[in-house]
Amino acid sequence: MGQNFPFLFPTLVSFALGALLVMSRRWHLAVTGDLPGADRRKVHIRAVPRVGGVAIFAAVFACGALMDAAATALLLGLGACGLLLFVGGLLEDVFRCVPPIGRLWLAFASAAVAFFVFDARITAIDVPGLDAILGIAAVSLVFTMFAVGGFAHAFNIVDGLNGLAGLVAMLILSAIAWAAGEAGDALIRDASLLLAFAVAGFLVWNTPRARLFLGDGGSYLLGFLIAELAVLLVHRNVQVSPWFALVALGYPVCETLFSGYRRVVYRNASPMKPDGLHLHTLVYKRLFRRKGRDTDVRNALAALCVLPLAVITVLAAALFWTNPWALQAAAIAFVCLYLVCYRSLVRFRLPRWVASLRKGARGEGARFAVPGPKRPIVIRDR
């Protein structure tokens, strides 16, 4: 494939399908529309179709079916493994009938299928003692299902602002492609670039003005494909540290683990129960939710403020892709950085130049509780 690979093809397919979905919105918006104010996580002000994942899935399918290349065949095969997951997410987008736990189990099942079909398995994590246990096929299967399915769910969680999930996906896929190229694995490199360019075509309709959302079908499928490519990269190339995958995918993983901890420990709720207290939601509410400006622009600006977290993890993974100790140190440093950022947003301990962005802001009088180190803190939007 190499340099002659027409990467613009998946971009054009996803762009064209996205255009079709946007232009035909009046006929399907009543069914596919994501309504504003449906819950506290929503920060948009008008109904937007949430079936953008159809455009990305169609781009993957078209490339795999129409182009004769090993990378396209791999991506199409992985897409087929995640077909039930995509359909489950799409049913939730349209009929609201598949709860988060159901989609998570579908992600586990899709990872199990890829485990057997493509030998996409985790057999080492560079932790003494645990690597020997992961050498047992049954243990490797369960761990791989948990890791891949968990990341698919994590990627769905960060899909909360215009362009955020798509840009994070492109950053992670770029890191995977770079590491694969350095390791001499052209198959994973080209498959990752293929998927990244498919996401680029969708992003035209998702940022800065959101005319189309990924939806659960798109976010779960995209998270599944990213996780599978990362697993295959590490499994096929022994020089790539398993910690590369964890650090490259670190922002969605950290967001999900902290969200589950926060819900269980501080709110005595199910870790699967959605809320509006994710870091990206707090960035929007604390810094950019004010009247007198275009909501889509504020939404996209909030996404750009969060994006450096993904940039940091991707750069660290790319720089130290063969060094497990450096990657472990980077993972610990990122967790500390995330917690500092979250705590700063909760307690309004922001730099003056950031706090000045809020000057003159008008709130909506909403209240919500955010955990502090000792007791829940009630934040009042002003």
Backbone angles phi, psi at 162, to 5 degrees: -60, 120
Domain count, the chain: 1
pLDDT number for residue 45: 67
Least Cα distance to 258 among 5, 250, 20 occurs for 250
Q: What is the pLDDT along the chain (382 residues), one digit of tens a residue?
A: 444 457 789 999 999 999 999 999 999 999 998 877 656 566 666 889 999 999 999 999 888 887 778 999 999 999 999 999 999 999 999 999 999 999 999 999 999 999 999 999 999 999 888 999 999 999 999 999 999 999 999 999 999 999 999 999 999 999 999 999 999 999 999 999 999 999 999 999 999 889 999 999 999 999 999 999 999 999 999 999 999 999 999 999 999 999 999 999 988 888 888 888 899 999 998 888 765 457 788 888 999 999 999 999 999 999 999 999 999 999 999 999 999 999 988 886 545 554 555 554 434 333 334 444 444 444 444 3
Stretch (H or E) spanning 62: helix 53-66
The boundaries of the domain holding residue 374 are 2-380
pLDDT number for residue 267: 84
Least Cα distance to 232 among 136, 86, 122, 318 occurs for 122
Q: Under DSSP, is residue 45 helix (H, G, I), strand (E, B) or coil?
A: coil
Beta strands 48-49 and 367-371, pairing class:
unpaired
pLDDT number for residue 253: 97
Least Cα distance to 153 among 281, 259, 269, 38 occurs for 259
pLDDT number for residue 128: 84
pLDDT number for residue 40: 57
DSSP output for 128-164? TTHHHHHTSHHHHHHHHHHHHHHHHHHHHHT--STTH
pLDDT number for residue 359: 53
| Residue with token string 């027409």 | 6
Do residues 83 and 245 touch, judged by C-beta distance below 8 A? no
Do residues 14 and 202 touch, judged by C-beta distance below 8 A? yes
pLDDT number for residue 285: 85
**Other Cβ atoms within 10 Å of 232 Cβ, number:** 25
46-51 contacts at long range (C-beta below 8 A, 24 or more positions apart)? 48/210, 48/211, 48/212, 48/213, 49/21, 49/22, 49/25, 49/211, 49/212, 49/213, 50/93, 50/213, 50/214, 50/215, 50/216, 51/21, 51/90, 51/93, 51/94, 51/212, 51/213, 51/215, 51/217, 51/218
Q: Copy the structure tokens of residue 10.
A: 């998946």
pLDDT number for residue 190: 93
The span from the first CA to the last CA of the chain, in angstroms, equals 56
Calpha distance 356→151 (Å, rounded)? 36
Calpha distance 15→23 (Å, rounded)? 12
